Structure 1
Amino acid sequence: MDAALHVVSRLFGIERALASASMLEYAWQRQSSESLSGAESGLSFESAALTGLDIRPATTDDAEALRTLYLGAVEWIQDAKGIRQWHADMFSPANMEKLFREQDVYAAYLHGRLAGAFSINWDNEEGIWGTLFHTDAGYVHRLAVARDCKGLGIGRLLLLHAESIISQKGRSWLRLDCMADNPSLNAYYARQGLQYCGRFDGPSWSASLYERRIRSQN
């Protein structure tokens, strides 16, 4: 298993190998005998740290930790960006219970602490996608990474994991929306290879709509 994951990392990149190990629930033991320095392998210290990342379906036991993660994101976005992208009442205990009831929720733990989360909706939630909606996609929502894990590439791994889940459902597209008034977040999703495909304008907020075709799992 360790050797197979090493081959995956050389052919497709470290993040794909880490995502594969996480989906297999396997603790990848990268042997020191490989003698791969950061310069030789293209790995950063941060990427190496992610060998302990565990992305798994969340349960109600994770609800309070997820709520803390999201409330921290609400506060940071408002303080650092001046944007009300999310609202604290979105993550009330009642709304967290609703989230677990209506969507598939996933939590990412790094060495035992919550590092990120996302959910997947399989329907046209709130009609955001309008006439662009189709059933050959999974719709990613509430993707967040803990602030003290910034720069580790966790967001990219969460997207790859979501992509794999959507593929296993037999669907061909990953789709998500993000606040149109948050330029840095829009730029981030563009760097991840998501294509802008429309805009939703609500009464008090607007969303940019993005999609990425699922990569072949072969």
Structure 2
Amino acid sequence: MTAPLPATRADVRGIWSLRRQREDWLIARGIDQWRPGEVPVSVIREQVDRGEWYVLREEEHHVIAGLRLLWQDPDFWGPDDGTAIYVHGLMLDLALAGEGLGAQLLGWAAAQGALQGKTRLRLDSAATNPRLATYYEDSGFSRQGQRQVGDFFEVILWERPIATTG
């Protein structure tokens, strides 16, 4: 896998399209997580402008995977003690599911955290998605709690240590 690159404004529609693909997939399976159209293009554009999105592209501008990296996440995790990096919105084109790309992206995110001295990789998932919970458990994450976040669904908070070198 080549490393994800910082998203540009040219990637906004591609990120949004991946999100919509996943929203429709979740709804078709009766999983109450991402609801169709709940994140407008304008929100993704703002996140890209803040430098939060990283993408993998096929050819020049076709986004095939993406994730947001945050250095704090008070809305989901509360105050940060400076030891964690946070992943949101990890997604890849459904045609690539099962090829290990998600695990590679999580490894890349952990490496970005390690470069900044972080020792923990954190993320969350909808409590209503047991398949995703199993995926994170199998990926070495441990449950750190469960909480209701605003008007969103209830989430499970996940954490995995970041391997340090040296």
TM over 0.5: yes
Matched, 1:109 2:57: yes
Relative distance call for 1:191 and 1:110 in structure 2 (3 A) is farther
SS in 1 for 2:85: strand
* Structure 1 unaligned regions, length at least 5: 1-17, 24-54
**Would you tell me which structure has more helix in proportion to its own residues?**
1
Higher relative contact order (CA 8 A, sep 6+): 2
Per the TM alignment, residue 154 of structure 1 is displaced from its structure 2 partner at its CA by: 0.5
Q: Deviations over 1:180-213 (max 9, x none)?
A: 1100000000000011111112345100000111
The percentage of counterpart residues that share the same residue type is: 26
Deviant stretches of 4+, over 3 Å = 110-113
RMSD: 1.9
Q: Verify: 1:134 aligned to 2:90, yes or no.
A: no
Q: State whether structure 2 residue 156 is matched by structure 1 residue 208.
A: yes
Unaligned runs of 5+ in 2: none
Q: How many residues align?
A: 164
How far off is 1:76 after superposition? 0.4
> Counterparts in 2 of 1:44-59, with a 5 A limit?
55-59=4-8
Q: TM-score, normalised by structure 2?
A: 0.89
Which of 99, 111, 122 is 1:164 aligned to?
111
Deviation at 1:91, TM superposition (A): 2.8
User: Is the Cα–Cα contact under 8 Å of residues 107 and 116 in structure 1 kept in the other structure?
Assistant: yes
Other-structure match for 1:120: 69
Change (3 A) 1:189 1:195: same
One-letter amino acid matched to 2:39 = F
TM-score (norm 1): 0.69
Separation of aligned partners in 2, 1:197 and 1:103: 27
